[in-house]
Chain A
Amino acid sequence: MSLSGVHLTQIGRADFLLEPLRSLNVGDNARLIEGVVERLLRAGAARLYYDLSSQAIIDPVYYAWLNQLAKTVAAINVKMVCVHMQPTAAFALVQFERETPAFETALEISDWQNSAHNK
């Protein structure tokens, strides 16, 4: 099953990397979330890394999409970690974000793996 608007790549035994494409429509995401969850379930995934390197700004709509995806994958015991968040995106996000997001963040995938090990 192809997923429209994202690249979803398995990068380890239980790890997946999601790279959003320009064509991603975060306003109409129900089918996309179902597709992602199905792929993760099939592979027995434990972690989903969401690459934010191409996202200069995170607005409330994009933030809601990230939260919804993180909460949904958490329902099948998959932890979502956003990596490569841009300074401009973090700056914009803290201006309106009022609650702890449903996802974790890391500079790099390897950083998150190391810090999870050290905690």
Chain B
Amino acid sequence: MAQKKTASEKLTALFNLKIGDIAGALSVPGRKYFGGDSRLMDDDEIADASGDFKNLIIALLSAKDPTDKGSPQFQALAMFFSNLAQRVLMRGGHVEDVVRYAQLLQHTLIEALEQDSGIEFTQSRSTLLYFSGVFNELIMAAFRVYLEEKESALSAQEQALRETATPITEIWDGVLTLPIIGALDSSRTMLVMEALLNRIAKDHARAVVMDLTGVKNIDSQVSHHLIQMVRAIQLMGSEAIITGIRPEIARALISLNIDMRDVITRASLSDGLKEAFRRMGIHVSQKTE
């Protein structure tokens, strides 16, 4: 009667066997999910990836403890899969494709090893569980890459939105306008201030008209940021003119004890522009026939 082998003995036996060329079989899942019409990887890339995967899985099975997820062999395999997932996602692939690829790769690998070793894995729950655990970790590595890519894309979108939400326009030689729409928080104020101060230096702007028509409400922190921005503009040597202060904003500024004595304010953007022109000695008049 044949003696039953444990999972680790079976894994060791796998390593002791000369594993034949299973890379060809392993490239089937790659071709199915990344090749063909999806064009995420070409045939050579898929063959290379399958060969690398085969070498890494053999290295894992030959490790002192193949179940140790902290082993360098396991880390190398996880890193390989992360890089593969990143490559696929960056080329426009979906995370579902990577997961399905991993699942099919698992089945293909088990079948290929069964054929090569003659060991019936389907009869060994522990060996199947082992491979299931390994591939679950690989799928999690792919998901981590996916989440990182998503976060990075979201952060880039937020940055782009912030930049377009505060367009700084040179409306006249040396006169910048900055319509502020929505809430001013600390990080947005820093971005706007940095962009504005650089524009003042670059365009040699002598006046900046900040229009608050789009600001619906204001609290002490926002008003503090606003005054900071005005002070920074003045320190650069430019004139800061605030326009479009709604009645509720004006009331809030006063109730928050914001010192507006050094701040030039005008009712509307056009009044602000007139004041900027006046201060710069520019006279704009209607042409009379």
What is the interface of chain A, defined by CB distance below 8 A to chain B? 82-83, 85-87, 89-91, 93-95, 97, 100-101, 105-108, 111-112, 114-115, 117-119
Identify which of B229, B231, B232, B236 contacts A107 (C-beta below 8 A).
Answer: B236
Contact B232 A94 (CB under 8 A): yes
Given contacts A87-B197, A91-B193, A91-B194, contact A107 B204 (CB under 8 A): yes
B181 interface hit (Cβ, 8 Å): no
Q: How far is the CA of A87 from the CA of B194 in the complex (A)?
A: 7
On chain A, the residues within 8 Å of B204 by CB distance are 107-108
Identify which of B194, B198, B237, B281 contacts A118 (C-beta below 8 A).
Answer: B281
On chain A, the residues within 8 Å of B231 by CB distance are 94, 97
Q: How many A-B Cβ pairs are below 8 Å?
A: 64
User: Which residue of A95, A101, A106, A115 has the most chain B CB atoms within 10 A of its CB atom?
Assistant: A115
**CB nearest to A118 among chain B residues:** B281
On chain A, the residues within 8 Å of B229 by CB distance are 94
On chain B, the residues within 8 Å of A114 by CB distance are 280-281
What is the interface of chain B, defined by CB distance below 8 A to chain A? 193-194, 197-198, 200-201, 204-206, 228-229, 231-239, 262, 278-281
Given contacts A100-B262, A105-B234, A118-B281, contact A87 B206 (CB under 8 A): no
Identify which of B193, B237, B280 contacts A106 (C-beta below 8 A).
Answer: B237
Contact A117 B281 (CB under 8 A): yes
Identify which of B205, B236, B239, B279 contacts A90 (C-beta below 8 A).
Answer: B236
Contact A87 B281 (CB under 8 A): no
On chain B, the residues within 8 Å of A94 by CB distance are 193, 228-229, 231-232, 235
On chain B, the residues within 8 Å of A111 by CB distance are 206, 237
Contact B206 A115 (CB under 8 A): yes
User: How far is the CB of B39 from the nearest CB of chain A, in Å?
Assistant: 46
Contact B237 A107 (CB under 8 A): yes
Identify which of B201, B228, B262, B279 contacts A87 (C-beta below 8 A).
Answer: B201
User: How far is the CB of B230 from the nearest CB of chain A, in Å?
Assistant: 9
Q: How far is the CA of A68 from the CA of B194 in the complex (A)?
A: 28
Contact B197 A118 (CB under 8 A): no
Q: How far is the CA of A94 from the CA of B233 in the complex (A)?
A: 10
Q: How far is the CA of A91 from the CA of B198 in the complex (A)?
A: 10
Q: How far is the CA of A90 from the CA of B206 in the complex (A)?
A: 15
User: How far is the CB of B196 from the nearest CB of chain A, in Å?
Assistant: 9
User: How far is the CB of A113 from the nearest CB of chain B, in Å?
Assistant: 11
Q: How far is the CA of A117 from the CA of B197 in the complex (A)?
A: 25
Identify which of B193, B206, B235, B279 contacts A85 (C-beta below 8 A).
Answer: B235
Instruction: List 22 interface pairs A-B (beta carbons < 8 Å), by A numbering.
Output: A83-B237, A87-B197, A87-B236, A90-B197, A90-B236, A93-B232, A94-B193, A94-B228, A94-B229, A94-B235, A95-B228, A105-B235, A105-B237, A106-B237, A107-B237, A111-B206, A114-B280, A115-B239, A115-B280, A117-B281, A118-B279, A119-B279
Contact A112 B197 (CB under 8 A): no
User: Which residue of B228, B236, B238 has the most chain A CB atoms within 10 A of its CB atom?
Assistant: B236
Contact B281 A90 (CB under 8 A): no
User: Which residue of B198, B204, B231, B281 has the most chain A CB atoms within 10 A of its CB atom?
Assistant: B231
Q: How far is the CA of A114 from the CA of B280 in the complex (A)?
A: 8
Contact A112 B237 (CB under 8 A): yes
Contact A91 B237 (CB under 8 A): no
The 5 closest A-B pairs by CB, nearest first: A87-B197, A106-B237, A107-B237, A90-B235, A105-B237
Identify which of B201, B228, B280 contacts A86 (C-beta below 8 A).
Answer: B201
Q: How far is the CA of A86 from the CA of B198 in the complex (A)?
A: 9
Q: How far is the CA of A106 from the CA of B238 in the complex (A)?
A: 7
Contact B235 A107 (CB under 8 A): no
Contact A85 B194 (CB under 8 A): no
Contact B236 A85 (CB under 8 A): yes
Contact A91 B278 (CB under 8 A): no
